[in-house]
Chains A and B, each alone.
Chain A
Amino acid sequence: EAQVTQNPRYLITVTGKKLTVTCSQNMNHEYMSWYRQDPGLGLRQIYYSMNVEATDKGDVPEGYKVSRKEKRNFPLILESPSPNQTSLYFCASSLARANNEQFFGPGTRLTVL
C-alpha cells in the first residue's frame, strides 16, 4: 500500500530534550516536506527536500533541522524543543516539486512542556 508514515504519532516532552520525528514514504517520491499546523494559521512549511541531499528552508525553519540521506526518509529534528513548538506536524511527499499532489502522513502531535 502506497503511504507516508510518521513516528511517533503522539509525543509529550520537556523543554531542551532533543527529539526526532521520522517520516518515510514508499512511493519513490522525490519531493518531501514538513509542515506544522496551528489553529487559524493553516499549514506552514518548515523544510522541504527536492531529492537526496537537497534540502531547503520553508516559511518557519527556526528551531528545526532535517536531513535527506535516503530517498524514502525525511526526519525532522528538534535539537532543543521549546513550548512554542507545541503543534501538529505533518510530513508530505509528492512525485516531483510542490506543484503536484501532496500525500500527507497521519500527523504527529507534539507537546513541549
Chain B
Amino acid sequence: GENVEQHPSTLSVQEGDSAVIKCTYSDSASNYFPWYKQELGKRPQLIIDIRSNVGEKKDQRIAVTLNKTAKHFSLHITETQPEDSAVYFCAAIINNAGNMLTFGGGTRLMVKP
C-alpha cells in the first residue's frame, strides 16, 4: 500500500523566517497531495492541495511543490507568524480510484516571536 513519510517531525523557526516541510510517497500512481493544518485541540483543516498535473501551487504565504519523478512534495511557508504554529500533515491518495488518503506522521511547527 501507499506509504507517506514526512520530515521533520518538529521544526522551530523565528518569526519572519521561512519553513519547509517535506514528504515522500511510495505509489507512483498517486495523483492528489493535500496539506492539512491542525491547531492545538482543533480539527485538521485543509490549507492547500496540489494535483499531479502541476508542479507548484501558491496561496499567499503558502506554496506547495511537487516532484513526481522523485516522488516528493513540499510545503513552503514564507514570512512565518506565531499563528502559523500548529501541526501540519501531508497526505497522498493511495490508489487510482481516489478512495483512500494516507497521511504522513505530522510536523509540529513552532514560530517563535
- Residues of chain A whose beta carbon lies under 8 Å from any beta carbon of chain B: 33, 35, 40-45, 48, 50, 56, 58-59, 90, 97-99, 101-102, 104-107
A102/B105 contact (C-beta < 8 A), A42-B6, A59-B1 known: no
Q: Which residues of the partner chain B approach A48 to less than 8 Å between Cβ atoms?
A: 99-100
Residue of B nearest to A98 (CB): B101
Partner of B32, one of A33, A56, A99: A99
Q: Which residues of the partner chain B approach A43 to less than 8 Å between Cβ atoms?
A: 44, 89, 91, 103
Q: What's the minimum C-beta distance from B107 to chain A, rounded to whole angstroms?
A: 10
A38 to B25, CA, bound (A): 20
Contact A104 B9 (CB under 8 A): no
A90/B44 contact (C-beta < 8 A), A45-B101, A97-B98 known: yes
Contact B44 A98 (CB under 8 A): no
A104/B101 contact (C-beta < 8 A), A40-B9, A42-B6, A99-B93 known: no
Closest CB pairs A-B (n = 9): A99-B32, A104-B43, A42-B103, A99-B98, A43-B103, A97-B98, A42-B105, A98-B101, A101-B46
Scan B13-42; emit 1 where CB is below 8 A from any A CB, else 0. Answer: 000000000000000000110101000000
Contact A58 B100 (CB under 8 A): yes
Residue of A nearest to B104 (CB): A42
A42/B43 contact (C-beta < 8 A), A48-B99, A98-B98, A99-B32 known: no
Contact A104 B100 (CB under 8 A): no
| Sample (17) of A-B pairs whose CB atoms are under 8 Å apart | A35-B103, A40-B9, A40-B106, A42-B89, A43-B44, A48-B99, A48-B100, A56-B99, A59-B1, A59-B100, A98-B32, A98-B98, A99-B98, A101-B34, A102-B46, A104-B44, A106-B43
Partner of A101, one of B1, B9, B49, B100: B49
Tell me whether B45 is interfacial, beta carbon within 8 Å.
yes
A17 to B27, CA, bound (A): 39
